[in-house]
Amino acid sequence: MRIVFIIDQVYRHGGIERVLSIKANYLATQNNNTIHIITTEQQNKKACYEFHPSIIFEDLNINYHRDTSYFYPKNLLKIPNHILKVKAALKKIHPDVVVVCSHSTDTYFMPFVLKKIPKVKEFHYSKFIEVEKRQNPSSVFKTLFFKFADYVETKYDKLVVLNPDEAAYYKSNNTVTIPNPLTFYPETMASLAEPTVIAAGRIAPVKRYDILIDIWKQVHKKNNTLKLHIYGEGEPNYVAGLQKQIERKNLSESVFLKGATSHIQNKMLSSSLFVMTSDNECFPLVLLEAQACGLPIVSRDSPYGPRNIINTQTGVLIKMNDSEGFAQAILELMSNVEKRKEFGRNARLHAVNYSIGKVMDQWNNLFNELNHVK
């Protein structure tokens, strides 16, 4: 089967890029598959994740201006050339299915390019973030745009969402739920003996590390031996603001912004608890990775990903504005090694449900269904 994945780029570290590498590599090792990845702005940079040598890359060299909206005039002017180039590329490849990964300009025109080729759109964010904007649009343009987006979604053969709660946000009946696959499953699990709590992910306002630092102040008042390690990268000014918050709260010897790492598995294995304070999530892969390492989790019950991964046997879900309860959950788990180990064992068993083989069976079934229809 000839499968084309469409994404803006694969040189930046990110969840979409990481998941694409895992899925594409798996498919590339299966007999009779030819995998193509079409990018729009790779800029001759090296891929940040490893890809199977048989995978064929093609960059269309569109290079949208990423400092502004895709719908600003200087970006809109690039769309006709983008459509022509992607159409030519698909004609040359003659794929059996096309999967649109990132949520960029091509999302809105791909269903109408070579219509006989089955098209799948992946959604890697929660549509919860659109609810307020849809109920109270700021302009006529916003109202029309949401109607247009809903229309476009009906024209895809399938929309892939990451958890069943997300399907309720789509007005079309072409959704299917396929979670992200687990990226690793270490041979051993964390000993859970270290006084280290870990958080990891993109350093951005939506992740609410500012709230986590406030929570940690409460933790530190009752147990000053614990350490919080935060891994990830983000906009420098925002990261600097978090560092100032840490210093202002006198937590410099307790909270550490560790930056990006290519060895998150080892960092998790050297920790005893994973925490997440995001305002919203869709399917946080990092929680599965933590479970694979045998880490219990404390997370805000944000819409809607964490509740699809964490249960009462593997961790603690905290109401969104309950910072005191969050701090208390950390303190209780970090003072009870047996409870941590029980949660950790259960978490590791739960993570097996998202093994690459099980998840990719769902993708293969979807591809076969679409080609049967075709």
Regarding whether 146 and 16 lie in a shared domain, the answer is yes
Residues 315 and 287 occupy one common structural domain: yes
Q: Is residue 186 situated within a structural domain?
A: no
Same domain for 349 and 364:
no
Share of the chain above pLDDT 90, in %: 85
262 three-class SS: coil
User: 97-100 and 119-122 as β-strands: parallel, antiparallel, unpaired?
Assistant: parallel
For residues 321 and 364, membership in a common domain is answered with no
- Quote the percentage of the chain above a pLDDT of 70: 99
pLDDT of res. 350: 97
Q: Are residues 143 and 97 in the same domain?
A: yes
347 & 362 share domain: no
Domain presence at residue 266: yes
Which tens digits make up the pLDDT trace of 263-294? Answer: 999 999 999 999 999 999 988 999 999 999 99
What does the pLDDT read at residue 373? 57
Long-range contacts of 342-346, Cβ-Cβ distance < 8 Å, separation of 24 or more:
343/296, 343/297, 343/313, 343/314, 343/315, 344/189, 344/190, 344/192, 344/294, 344/295, 344/296, 345/189, 345/294, 346/313, 346/314
Query: Could you report the per-residue pLDDT of 28-49, keeping only the tens digit for each?
Result: 999 899 999 999 999 999 998 9
Q: Is 190 part of any domain?
A: no
> Within a domain: residue 232?
yes
From 28, 38, 52, 30, select the one nearest 4 (Cα to Cα).
Answer: 38
In a domain, 28, yes or no: yes
* Residue 46 belongs to a domain: yes
Say if residue 141 is in the same domain as residue 205: no
Residue-range definition of the domain harbouring residue 99: 2-181+355-373
189 in a structural domain: no
Are 137 and 215 part of one and the same domain?
A: no
Q: Do 311 and 166 belong to one domain?
A: no
Specify the number of domains making up the chain: 2
Pick out the chain residues at pLDDT < 70: 373-374
Judge if 123 and 135 occupy the same domain: yes
Q: Cis link prior to 170 (omega < 30° from 0)?
A: no
Q: Which pTM value belongs to this model?
A: 0.88
The reply to whether 200 and 250 lie within a common domain is yes
- Residues 37, 152, single domain; the answer is yes
CATH, residue 250 = 3.40.50.2000
Q: Is residue 188 part of a domain?
A: no
